[in-house]
Structures are given as structure tokens and as C-alpha cells.
């Protein structure tokens, strides 16, 4: 299968190791991964903030970028951005009166998957240790992102994959379904509320005794990681893709460095 990687802004700019881990996982399963070079921001922040006119060219660019290459499916290590591509893009095109763009956006969205969706629903991965060789001997808890749970309906896909990693010690997070307080521009426009929500989240994480909090959205992990760092916590964050990509021979470090694809770093 040929799979197009949608890297997303935060992963591309701040957590490229998450994108590399995604590639490593898919190559391990025998698939070809391509990177549509025209991709940029999906426009989610513009749309969520009400800047519809400004979002339209951004959405158009995404559609054009993922129409330019031949591939079977596209994947992103982000529930938030995939939800925007699948749901917000067609709605925006319709609101702007562009029926042709709406149809094109729907076609691109139909082929776009969040990583755990692709692994479980399309590629049939249910046991990371057996099928991916995943090995991560650390105590881990897990934060499910709001968009992944509510917009995409991911359910326990990410959680079940994490629990199937070899050597992992998993501990449940109290009030796991509560928002971490990021919400894109929400964390800036409503900083006091966001900070209070983050404080609740980090206290719950620390109460588990886990050395790492994992999740499926780099934006949430960035926000949570910042909160943990400010309290001098020993707990850090790591995207679930990096944990799945960790093996006995090529272990991921808690700082996120991972060996990927065909022996390269």
C-alpha cells in the first residue's frame, strides 16, 4: 500500500521524531510512505477562531497537495488535524459557496486517517508487540485528546495499542477524558481557565506515578509537557507513535529520539 504522510504543523516544527516514528511503523509493515511536498497547515486554527475567509486558501492548498500524488490512503499522527480535514474542510467549502472544492475536500478527507485508525481499522494491527515488535519497558499513563475522542470517535484504539506494547507498565489516568486546556488559541485567549484545566490534568498525571504520559496529539502533549516542566515534575510526555516504534534493538529514548526506516536515525 502507498501511504501519504500528513505531518501536521506542530509535529513538523517541534516533534519531527513523531513523524519519523510513524514512517518507521508503516515501513515495518511493508508499506511505502510518501510525503506530499505541497502540504502546509490544515487551517484548523483559522476555522476554530472564525477566520473563514483566511482559512479558505489554506484548505484549498491542503486539498491540492493531497490531490497531487497518487496514494491509497493518507495518515497523520494527530486526531485534531484529521478531524479538521475530514469534517471542517467540506463544511468551510460549502459555506464559502464552492461546491467543487467541497467535493474535492470530501474525497481527500475520505482517504485520510489518524494513525491508530489506520493501524487498527485498515491494517489490522491489534497487538503491537507481536505485529510491530514494540517494546517499551516504562510506566506509562495515557491522555485521550478531545478531538480524537469526540470528533473522530477513536474510542480505545490508541489505548489498546499502547497496552499491547511489550514490557510496558500501564496505569490508568484519573479523569482521563477531561480536557487538558490547550484547545489551540483557547489557551491564549482564555489563559486563566486553560491554566486551571492544565493544573488539574498534571496533578492527575503525577498521581499515577508514571514516568511518561502518552497521547495521540502533539499539541496536547506540548501543553501538558509544559505544565509538568513548570512544576519540576519528573514525568514527561511522548506520542504513542514513538512508543509503538520502540523495539528492543532500536529503543526510543524518553527525549523522543528514535531510529527509523531502513536503519537511519
Q: Output the nine-digit C-alpha cell for 120.
A: 487498527
Same domain, 219 and 107: no
Mean pLDDT score across all residues of the chain:
92
Using DSSP's 3-state secondary structure scheme, residue 22 falls into: helix
Using DSSP's 3-state secondary structure scheme, residue 39 falls into: coil
Boundaries of domain holding 230: 128-245
Same domain, 80 and 189: no
Same domain, 114 and 217: no
Tell me whether residue 252 is in a domain: no
Tell me whether residue 264 is in a domain: no
- The Cα–Cα gap between 238 and 158 comes to 13
| 110 φ/ψ angles, rounded to the nearest 5 degrees | -65, -25
Same domain, 115 and 136: no
Q: Render pLDDT for 121-167 as a digit per residue (tens, 0 to 9).
A: 999 999 999 999 999 999 999 999 998 888 899 999 999 999 999 99
Tell me whether residue 109 is in a domain: yes
Does position 183 have pLDDT exceeding 80, yes or no? Answer: no
Which CATH number covers residue 210?
3.40.50
Q: Render pLDDT for 202-214 as a digit per residue (tens, 0 to 9).
A: 999 999 999 999 9
Same domain, 92 and 138: no
Q: Which of 122, 137, 161 is the last residue of a domain?
A: 122
Same domain, 183 and 241: yes
Same domain, 112 and 142: no
Same domain, 152 and 215: yes
Q: Render pLDDT for 18-33 as a digit per residue (tens, 0 to 9).
A: 999 999 999 999 999 9
Same domain, 118 and 6: yes
Tell me whether residue 260 is in a domain: no
Which pTM was predicted?
0.91
Q: Output the nine-digit C-alpha cell for 198.
A: 492544565
Give yes or no for a contact between 40 and 248, defined as CB atoms under 8 angstroms apart.
no
Does position 200 have pLDDT exceeding 80, yes or no? Answer: yes
Tell me whether residue 225 is in a domain: yes
Q: Which of 92, 122, 152 is the last residue of a domain?
A: 122
The total domain count for the chain is 2
Same domain, 46 and 93: yes
In order of 176, 229, 243, the CA distances from 23 in angstroms are 28, 29, 13
Tell me whether residue 250 is in a domain: no
Amino acid at each position: 500500500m502507498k501511504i501519504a504522510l500528513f505531518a501536521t504543523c506542530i509535529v513538523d516544527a517541534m516533534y519531527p521524531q513523531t513523524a519519523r516514528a510513524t514512517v518507521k511503523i508503516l515501513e515495518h509493515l511493508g508499506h511505502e510512505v510518501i510525503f506530499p511536498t505541497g502540504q502546509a497547515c490544515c487551517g484548523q486554527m483559522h476555522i476554530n477562531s472564525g477566520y473563514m475567509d483566511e482559512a479558505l486558501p489554506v484548505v484549498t492548498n491542503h486539498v491540492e497537495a493531497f490531490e497531487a500524488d497518487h496514494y491509497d490512503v493518507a495518515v497523520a499522527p494527530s486526531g485534531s488535524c484529521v478531524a479538521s480535514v475530514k469534517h471542517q474542510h467540506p463544511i468551510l467549502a460549502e459555506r464559502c459557496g464552492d461546491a467543487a472544492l467541497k467535493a474535492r475536500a470530501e474525497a481527500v478527507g475520505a482517504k485520510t486517517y489518524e494513525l491508530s485508525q489506520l493501524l487498527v481499522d485498515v491494517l489490522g494491527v491489534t497487538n503491537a508487540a507481536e505485529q510491530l515488535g514494540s517494546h517499551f519497558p516504562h510506566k506509562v499513563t495515557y491522555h485521550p485528546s478531545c478531538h480524537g475522542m469526540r470528533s473522530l470517535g477513536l474510542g480505545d484504539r490508541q489505548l489498546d495499542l499502547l497496552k499491547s506494547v511489550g514490557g510496558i507498565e500501564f496505569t490508568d489516568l484519573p479523569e482521563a477524558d477531561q480536557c487538558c486546556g490547550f484547545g489551540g488559541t483557547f489557551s491564549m485567549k482564555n489563559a486563566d481557565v486553560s491554566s486551571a484545566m492544565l493544573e488539574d490534568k498534571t496533578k492527575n498525571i503525577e498521581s499515577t506515578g508514571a514516568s511518561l504520559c502518552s497521547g495521540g496529539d502533539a499539541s496536547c502533549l506540548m501543553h501538558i509537557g509544559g505544565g509538568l516542566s513548570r512544576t519540576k515534575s519528573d514525568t514527561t510526555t511522548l506520542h504513542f507513535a514513538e512508543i509503538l516504534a520502540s523495539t528492543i534493538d532500536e529503543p526510543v529514548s524518553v527525549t523522543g529520539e528514535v531510529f527509523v526506516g531502513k536503519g537511519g536515525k
